[in-house]
Structure 1
Amino acid sequence: RVNMTETQVKEYLSEEIRRKWLAVDRIVATPSGKSMPTVPREVVEQQLWGAAEYLVRSGVLDHVVELLATIAMLHDVVTDRMVDELAKNVIRPLGLLIDGLTRTSLVEVIGRALADPELEKALVEAKEDKKISIRTLISLLNDAEVRRGLYITLVLLKALGKSAKEI
């Protein structure tokens, strides 16, 4: 095993740890009601040493230490006031937005509209600077679907205006 590559060592250690952890899963109850492993203490210590060696060799321990240091830093920096402001100015409005979107079919309607091939065609024409005449725009107003979409857009704009006035 001395001639193993680093990848082979990692694979061997992970398999060895999995095999050893399965042995520790067998627990028996003692008369006092506490549980104790059925394997001897030396075997448990050997497994712990193997796990520690795996964590060090694989670099996982370094990442855990960095993560814990970051959490400690954040704990020192974040104040109760910051959490309150975040909740009031970000989380609550986001929750209200999600609640509003899930109670209506607006997201589904917009999603279907964006997938419409006519919209893609219009985007291509607009990108190519194709002349769009007033007559074309007025003829679109005669279309029942355009009027329905315009109605929904205007009602949405009205609701936005009302909401902006309340804030």
Structure 2
Amino acid sequence: MTTPDSDGLLAEQLLRLTRRLQRIQKRHLEQRGLGITPAQSRLLRTLAHCDAPPRMADLAQRLEVVPRAVTTLVDGLEASGKVRRAPDPTNRRVIRVELTDDGRKALLELHGARRSAAEEILAPLTGGQRELLGGLLDTLVDAAPKPGRGRGC
């Protein structure tokens, strides 16, 4: 039986683990010298899963951030050649964001950094514990409301 105190402790443990995972992932990104922040990494991964280049507003909705935050992320990634803004072929007033070849290469490096970070954080667990944790995390992820999906994402 859970109590409010045990739920509070569990929530605190989850938050501490999340912060630790973010620190480890950031370190692994820095070690690879990509010059990409975790937030930019998330935007690149989101773009990679879109069916078509999304609008900035669609990205903001998908990432669950304000549109200005997406503008800042895209500005940085565009300056480093990882994404480009392109006019929508059917409506020239609409700007879409697409991955460049450098962005696709960076995604491969990012995947390696995330994998290394996961290996580091999961190292203390046995195979059985990892399997159990995976099942528990699936349950929590599946129970969460799905973020809004913009057109093309």
* TM-score using structure 2 length: 0.28
Structure with larger RCO (C-alpha < 8 A, sep 6+): 2
Larger Rg: 1
